[in-house]
Structure 1
């Protein structure tokens, strides 16, 4: 795949003052959702009816990873919106290079989604809602553009134990935004609106990274063909900045987990179950 990138007139000294989003935009880091492609596959497995004629929206598509994964795995029309124009342009280039005419990208705001009511069969929001100041308005918008019986798929990051304030403050400075101190229950309550149904929720933990794993990932990001026009000085400075961010985030994620949460808009029936049940441990058979 070949895409082109024009690099701004930045010096190595300038790079050391960029926040994570700005650095990602500079080097076109995929900035994928937690779990990467396995998360996308898990979501699509739980919504097997999606196919030709259906529409998917990702809010906060960044450099296009999730939209391209969904567009390649389904025959749906997949639309990504992001507030960063440079990320949208790069995503469009990647979609064209991959030959995915069902992947579309445009500049857009999650609190003012420029699509009509009940337009999408699925809305996908990874951890983007954490960075939207008016989260209530954004989630209302997700549901507004979602069809009746459509699915809102959210993959939020949350804390399962409290990190030190020093770390929280440093992460906030790195991402350039306030960091919500939410639990899994906080997110579940925020996404569940009257009439909606949380029908799937699965929690995951992050595995600790070694410095060599971080080094290898930084090298992979910088070796992308789209970064070939970057000067060696700028590339080295970007690598140091990425290494700092990844090391910091690795420490922070030691206190955090993420969950795949799927909500159905407008339950077909809200009648309660009388005889509750629970899975029996050790009886699952996988073939």
Structure 2
């Protein structure tokens, strides 16, 4: 006779105590990178030459959004690692349903990446590095698994205005982790390594959301087929929790921005330029 303990079923009261990551895991929210698919397209546009047989790794792939976008847009083998086994299982199932045989997912840790040296042509790390306690070790790992002239693509969130202490404390409780108070310059320095080159850097601001936009997004998350088995009461509790998080994050992102940072692992030449230049204002022509 089996003596295993049956898995405990969540109640609506339980859901009200979940942090953001736990709630995302419950409803399989896409949890995409800042800018969504537009960010993925921008990265791929600025890293030309990725071809069949090339390898891409995303650290912190979550429910698979970025890996699946890159696998659909290229013929590369795209790998994602995440510390949450449930997210990896969900991502694999979604890749199979989409017929994306070049998308691969595994449980993994950004500070101990289970791939050999000089293995990937590009490594994508959205804002995951913010939540890794030993960030320097993680970034060392990013560079270790990159090939010579490989590209590290990072999309960190940073503060350009100081938020109220009350807001910071509430966001930290919501995400269940300390929130780094980094500037864009802090991140640019942190991701750099001797011999690397920051060859692309572009900054974006977040647009304020209305309550109606937040409600519409919550409804779309809950309407996913993977949530069909949830009871009405559990969906209502999850929707309430998501609405709280999204409203809180909307306020927090009013003080924040994000940047797309692209680093080449090795510069082709270290020689400095003599005659520097700058674009002439108003001279751009689009045909």
How many residue pairs align between the two structures? 281
Q: What residue is the counterpart of 2:69 in the other structure?
A: 69
Cα deviation 1:35-84 (Å, max 9, x = unaligned): 00000000000011001010000000000000000000000000000000
Deviation at 1:100, TM superposition (A): 0.1
Q: What residue is the counterpart of 1:56 in the other structure?
A: 56
Deviation at 1:8, TM superposition (A): 6.0
Alignment of 1:133 with 2:139, yes or no, is no
Distance of 2:139 and 2:8 partners within structure 1: 34
What secondary structure, in the 3-state scheme, does the structure 2 residue paired with 1:122 have?
A: strand
Q: What residue is the counterpart of 1:122 in the other structure?
A: 122
Q: What residue is the counterpart of 2:184 in the other structure?
A: 184
Pairing 1:1-287 to 2, within 5 Å after superposition: 9-287=9-287
Deviation at 1:286, TM superposition (A): 2.5
What secondary structure, in the 3-state scheme, does the structure 2 residue paired with 1:106 have?
A: strand
| TM-score computed with the length of structure 1 as normaliser | 0.97
Q: Structure 1 segments of 4 or more deviating over 3 A?
A: none
Cα deviation 1:180-214 (Å, max 9, x = unaligned): 00000000000010000000000000000000000
Deviation at 1:285, TM superposition (A): 2.0
Cα deviation 1:103-157 (Å, max 9, x = unaligned): 0000000000000000000000000000000000000000000000000000000
Distance of 2:111 and 2:286 partners within structure 1: 42
Distance of 2:165 and 2:256 partners within structure 1: 14
What secondary structure, in the 3-state scheme, does the structure 2 residue paired with 1:201 have?
A: strand
Q: 5+ unaligned residues in a row in structure 1: which ranges?
A: 1-6
What secondary structure, in the 3-state scheme, does the structure 1 residue paired with 2:280 have?
A: coil
Query: How well do the aligned residues superpose, as a CA RMSD in angstroms?
Result: 0.8
Q: What residue is the counterpart of 2:4 in the other structure?
A: none
Distance of 2:106 and 2:131 partners within structure 1: 19
Distance of 1:9 and 1:279 partners within structure 2: 60
Distance of 1:62 and 1:282 partners within structure 2: 42
What secondary structure, in the 3-state scheme, does the structure 1 residue paired with 2:269 have?
A: coil
What secondary structure, in the 3-state scheme, does the structure 2 residue paired with 1:281 have?
A: coil
What secondary structure, in the 3-state scheme, does the structure 2 residue paired with 1:166 have?
A: helix
Q: 5+ unaligned residues in a row in structure 2: which ranges?
A: 1-6
Distance of 1:282 and 1:43 partners within structure 2: 26
Distance of 2:55 and 2:286 partners within structure 1: 32
What secondary structure, in the 3-state scheme, does the structure 2 residue paired with 1:251 have?
A: helix
Q: What residue is the counterpart of 1:4 in the other structure?
A: none
